[in-house]
């Protein structure tokens, strides 16, 4: 038995060494936890286990198929009830580096802004009935002189003429009681801009179908978002909500495909330069307000990643490249990246744009501009098809980070390159799940990618469409889905969202220092719960 004891002792040593080596590429493992971090880690792990066994126990009909990291749209209210969620809400999260501006403010708030604008009109292609209402998407636009003369009712029973424009507020007030009256109207407008659980997990339960629903929400929102008075309120709300969620810096993707938005006068004549100027003004206002409240450490500003959509031809891309470069020159501190977006499974692969993007890189270099490509790539289940191969082009084109990079787990060389060169993946867990790349977060490739030492930051992508406003939901889903992840993992994800931002070095250091300061207070507060557990 002495021999077995010795053998066992050796076995456990080898086991520890193997686990240590296997996790040695994880970025947080280069750090040593502080005493507060160790205590906070113990607290969070203990609560995580408790809640896995109680809140998420998958017992009885009421809890059918529940587990930590399960499908978000079914789990949201349960998530919000947990202690882990409440603790993560308070966490300082660093940067939000992947979010589409037109999908970050919750849609109820957007509707509220719209209801305050008497000039917003709406129309539908077909008069509403009980049978068709769920399939009809409304169209909005500001009309300075209302063409409206008659009955605002949108239903067939109310005599609505297809495609006629009705003031939004009147349409709401007179919404057919058979369709639910004003409350039914609100629900219908929200549904047309969000994905519900039945769609994600039943009727549209494939990547292709759910993207059809997903994309259908953007034109609806666009009719409101691209109206300057709403746009300015919207940006302000986006910033305040993010700050409230613990985000201290933002790189928002703005879709510049549409060349003009509607101005205060209702005319569609506001050029991109004004979009950027407005954005900058609102950011400065909020920064000043934060400063005046002594909270300057909670907000280090917001920048813009210029995006257009891969529906355009490579020739059409030239216009957007010129546009982005001229905006960069006019707003050198605001435009920090260039990207091409859209459903990679359906739209042009990056390789078709390579000649233009090489020219773009050359122009930017020659003109001495700091305007990197920050490209979407690999947001796909494809293995070796065009959308997966976008990963190669994003890397070869020198993308500073990768939007999503969901498929990088399949690419040993690309993981090595990203690890060595510090190319971070902008991972969007809830977005990936709702858009059906994964059925739940435990099945997400994130842990595999983290264990390869690839830098990662967590992002919300289009939280207003998913109902996941802020970053807390994404942090929650990731944290409860892994027993490797602890408080140092949370810290590393947040830290890397600043480290791999486009912030200039001095501003980055200030933002990181402020984050470290808040982090210390955060882990102390959680660690102090240790004795009471």
Q: Which residues bind a second copy (CB under 8 A)?
A: 4, 7-8, 11, 14-15, 18-19, 21-22, 25, 58, 64-67, 70, 203-209, 351, 354-355, 358-359, 362, 381-385, 388-389, 392-393, 395-396, 409-414, 436-440, 442-443, 445, 447-448, 451-452, 481-485
**Beta carbon nearer to a second copy, 67 or 218:** 67
Nearest approach, Cβ of 47 to a second copy (angstroms)?
Answer: 16
**Beta carbon nearer to a second copy, 251 or 344:** 344
**Beta carbon nearer to a second copy, 304 or 478:** 478
Per-residue buried b or exposed e for 355-366, using 16+ beta carbons within 10 Å of the residue's own CB: ebbeebbeebee
**Beta carbon nearer to a second copy, 263 or 385:** 385
Per DSSP, the residues of 49-112 read HHHHHTTT---TTTTTT--TT--HHHHHHHHHTSHHHHHHHTS--EEEEEEEGGGSS-HHHHHH
**Beta carbon nearer to a second copy, 70 or 243:** 70
Nearest approach, Cβ of 350 to a second copy (angstroms)?
Answer: 11
Nearest approach, Cβ of 390 to a second copy (angstroms)?
Answer: 12
Residue 490 structure tokens: 């949370």
Per-residue buried b or exposed e for 385-399, using 16+ beta carbons within 10 Å of the residue's own CB: ebbbbbbbbbbebeb
**Beta carbon nearer to a second copy, 93 or 436:** 436
Nearest approach, Cβ of 425 to a second copy (angstroms)?
Answer: 14
Phi, psi of 224 (to 5 degrees): -100, -45
The single-letter DSSP state of residue 161 is P
Nearest approach, Cβ of 429 to a second copy (angstroms)?
Answer: 13
Nearest approach, Cβ of 411 to a second copy (angstroms)?
Answer: 5
Nearest approach, Cβ of 104 to a second copy (angstroms)?
Answer: 27
**Beta carbon nearer to a second copy, 257 or 396:** 396
Q: Write out the H or E segment, with its range, that includes residue 140.
A: strand 139-142
Nearest approach, Cβ of 281 to a second copy (angstroms)?
Answer: 39
**Beta carbon nearer to a second copy, 65 or 149:** 65
SS3 sequence, 177-229? Answer: HHHCHHHHHHHHHHHCCCCCHHHHHHHCCCHHHHHHHHHHHHHHHHHHHCEHH
Residue with tokens 């984050």: 515
**Beta carbon nearer to a second copy, 390 or 468:** 390
Nearest approach, Cβ of 35 to a second copy (angstroms)?
Answer: 23
SS3 sequence, 425-463? Answer: EEECHHHHHHCCCCCCHHHCCHHHHHHCCCCEEECCECH
CA dist., res. 210 & res. 438, Å (int): 13
In angstroms, the first-to-last Cα distance of the chain is: 40
Residue 392 Cα to chain centre, angstroms: 23
Phi, psi of 222 (to 5 degrees): -55, -35
CA dist., res. 272 & res. 326, Å (int): 10
**Beta carbon nearer to a second copy, 246 or 445:** 445
Per DSSP, the residues of 386-437 read HHHHHHHHHHHTT-SEEEE-GGGGG-HHHHHHHHHHT-EEEE-HHHHHHTTS
C-beta atoms surrounding 517 within 10 Å:
12
Nearest approach, Cβ of 111 to a second copy (angstroms)?
Answer: 30
**CA atoms within 13 A of residue 356's CA, in its CB half-sphere:** 19
Phi, psi of 139 (to 5 degrees): -120, 135
**Beta carbon nearer to a second copy, 69 or 142:** 69
Geometric angle at alpha carbon 344, from 351 and 312, rounded to 5°:
65
Cα pseudo-dihedral 422, 426, 432, 437, rounded to 10: -30
Nearest approach, Cβ of 349 to a second copy (angstroms)?
Answer: 12
Nearest approach, Cβ of 11 to a second copy (angstroms)?
Answer: 6
**Beta carbon nearer to a second copy, 213 or 233:** 213
Residue 533, classed as helix, strand or coil, is coil
């Amino acid at each position: 038995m002495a021999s077995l004891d010795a053998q066992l002792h050796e076995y456990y040593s080898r086991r520890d060494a193997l686990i240590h080596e296997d996790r040695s590429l994880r970025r947080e493992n280069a750090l040593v936890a502080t005493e507060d971090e160790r205590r906070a880690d113990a607290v969070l792990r203990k609560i995580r286990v408790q809640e896995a066994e109680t809140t998420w126990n998958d017992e009885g009909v009421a809890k059918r198929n529940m587990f930590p990291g399960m499908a978000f749209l079914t789990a949201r209210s349960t998530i919000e009830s947990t202690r882990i969620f409440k603790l993560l809400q308070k966490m300082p999260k660093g940067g939000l580096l992947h979010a589409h501006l037109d999908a970050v403010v919750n849609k109820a708030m957007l509707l509220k802004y719209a209801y305050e604008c008497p000039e917003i009109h709406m129309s539908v292609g077909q008069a509403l009935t009980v049978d068709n209402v769920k399939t009809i998407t409304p169209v909005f636009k500001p009309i300075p002189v209302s063409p409206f003369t008659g009955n605002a009712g949108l239903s067939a029973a109310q005599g609505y003429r297809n495609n006629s424009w009705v003031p939004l507020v009147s349409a709401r007030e007179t919404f057919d009681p058979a369709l639910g009256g004003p409350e039914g109207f609100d629900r219908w407008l929200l549904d047309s801009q969000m994905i519900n659980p039945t769609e994600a997990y039943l009727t549209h339960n494939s990547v292709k179908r759910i993207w059809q629903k997903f994309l259908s929400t953007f034109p609806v929102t666009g009719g409101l978002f691209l109206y300057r008075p709403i746009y300015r309120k919207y940006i302000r709300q986006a910033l305040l909500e993010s700050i409230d969620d613990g985000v201290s810096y933002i790189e928002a993707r703005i879709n510049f495909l549409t060349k003009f938005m509607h101005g205060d006068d209702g005319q569609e004549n506001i050029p991109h330069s004004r979009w950027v100027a407005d954005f900058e003004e609102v950011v400065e206002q909020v920064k000043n307000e934060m400063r005046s409240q002594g909270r300057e450490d909670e907000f280090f500003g917001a920048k813009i990643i210029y995006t257009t959509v891969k529906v355009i031809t490579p020739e059409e891309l030239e216009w957007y490249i010129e546009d982005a470069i001229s905006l960069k020159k006019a707003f050198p501190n605001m435009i920090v990246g260039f990207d091409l977006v859209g459903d990679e499974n359906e739209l042009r692969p990056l390789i078709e744009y390579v000649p233009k993007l090489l020219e773009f890189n050359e122009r930017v270099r020659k003109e001495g501009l700091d305007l990197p490509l920050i490209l979407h790539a690999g947001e796909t289940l494809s293995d070796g098809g065009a959308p997966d191969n976008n990963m190669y082009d994003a890397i070869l084109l020198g993308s500073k980070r990768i939007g999503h990079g969901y498929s990088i787990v399949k690419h040993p060389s690309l993981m090595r390159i990203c690890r060595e060169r510090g190319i971070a993946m902008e991972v969007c867990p809830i977005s990936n799940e709702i858009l059906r790349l994964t059925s739940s977060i435990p099945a997400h490739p994130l842990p595999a990618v983290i264990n390869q030492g690839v830098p990662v930051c967590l992002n919300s992508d289009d939280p207003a469409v998913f109902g996941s406003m802020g970053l807390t939901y994404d942090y929650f889903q990731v944290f409860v889905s892994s027993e490797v992840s602890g408080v140092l993992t949370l810290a590393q994800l947040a830290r890397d969202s600043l480290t791999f931002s486009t912030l200039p070095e001095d501003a980055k250091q200030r933002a990181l220092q402020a984050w470290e300061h808040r982090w210390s207070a955060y882990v102390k507060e959680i660690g102090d719960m240790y004795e009471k557990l």
